[in-house]
Structure 1
């Protein structure tokens, strides 16, 4: 099943709800399809401009590897199997906040990227939003 715009907007809504509920700072939310192309995006009021690209790059990292960006990023460290791979594909981001999206049948459908809060908060927001997608399918 493909990720629809309506589903992507639901992921964004879940992320925004979680940010407000937790009292986190405003974030950018980037949703990519299974081919790592942009499908939906939101920039909450007051978010730093730099987070636009970072949210996209986190989502792209998760989409290209079908894995969470922090898990992929562990391979980018000195001495790791893919040291400096973050310089490929127009730039990858290997910290928390990029999460692969799966449908109810556990098929990969895309990725969400969050940036603007702490790395831990970005990851929590992305995981919450991803779980909202799985719960609504």
Structure 2
């Protein structure tokens, strides 16, 4: 299964629906495919300037490291030299804050990632999970 534009749009719409229902600050949401190519992006009115860049770094970081950014942030606390080295590599985008979540099919295959920025990391993560939950039934593996 591949991450289609239609599926990415549903993830973003689910994310933003959850955000509005919960009075979350204005968000930027990006969905990347497994190769870290942007599939879809939306920025809400009044989301600040760097929100897209932060959302992209969260999604790319999750893909590049192979797990959600909450886990990356936890690992960085115990190994700051390694993560400082990783973030110093030219071209690496990695945000050490929750809100970058992998999108997996029912077999655990990584299809892509969603990155959210606009509120606290914890709130961004809740929004990302709500967006992924909005398409859970569609993430069935065709393999």
Scaled by the length of structure 1, what TM-score is found? 0.91
- CA deviation digits over 1:97-127, x for unaligned, max 9? 0000012332210000000011111011011
The answer on 1:105 being equivalent to 2:107 is: yes
Secondary structure at 2:116's aligned position in 1?
strand
Taking the TM superposition and a 5 Å limit, the aligned residue runs for 1:39-118 are 39-77=39-77, 79-80=79-80, 82-84=82-84, 85-88=86-89, 89-118=91-120
| Contiguous gaps of at least 5 residues in structure 1 | none
Q: Give the distance between the partners of 2:16 and 2:31, measured in 1 at CA.
A: 13
Q: Give 1:81 shift.
A: 7.2
Q: Which residue of 2 aligns with 1:14?
A: 14
Q: Give the distance between the partners of 2:83 and 2:46, measured in 1 at CA.
A: 34
| Contiguous gaps of at least 5 residues in structure 2 | none
Computed over aligned residues only, the root mean square deviation of the Cα atoms, in angstroms, reads 1.7
Aligned residues: 137
Q: Give the distance between the partners of 1:117 and 1:31, measured in 2 at CA.
A: 18
Q: Per chain length, whose mean CA-contact separation is higher, i.e. which structure has more relative contact order (CA < 8 Å, sep 6+)? A: 2
Bigger Cα displacement from structure 2, 81-90 vs 33-42: 81-90
